Amino acid sequence: MNPGFVLTEMWAGLKSNLAMVFSIVLVTFISMTFVGVSALLQLQINEMKSFWYDRAQVVIYLCTDYSSELACPAGTVTEEQKRVVASQLSSQGFRPYVSEYYFESSQCIGR
């Protein structure tokens, strides 16, 4: 087969269907862009997951003198309630999930 003839016929076909060639190139470009963006997003999500996985923090607010009566109808937290919370956090069930815990006072430091 004559390569010159094949190239001439191919060029003639491309010129006669220029709109179709343009649309195929455009659709291919857009689809490859979506594939690239999704791959980059997946890599970024994995990086963020590995960064934040060990840094999760949970805050539990106990009732204080400044808490509203609607939120704390029983009043302020007692030392016994704090001990129960501490024993639950250090129990066997929470040990794989809780590396450390501490209680902060509601009193301002430096007064």
Cα(66)–Cα(48) distance, rounded to whole angstroms?
37
**pLDDT for 24-33, tens place per residue?**
999 999 999 9
Q: Give the pLDDT band of residue 36 (cuts 50, 70, 90).
A: very high
Tell me which residue range forms the domain holding 110.
57-111
For the entire predicted model, the pTM comes to 0.46
Place of tokens 């191919």: 10
**pLDDT for 39-85, tens place per residue?**
999 999 999 988 887 777 788 888 887 778 788 888 888 889 889 98
pLDDT reported for residue 98: 84
If asked whether residues 100 and 78 sit together in one domain, one would say yes
CA–CA distances in Å: residue 36 to residues 9, 31, 32, 39, 62:
34, 9, 6, 5, 48
If asked whether residues 61 and 111 sit together in one domain, one would say yes
Is residue 111 scored above 50 in pLDDT?
A: no
If asked whether residues 44 and 9 sit together in one domain, one would say yes
- Which spans in the chain are helix H? 3-16, 18-52, 79-89
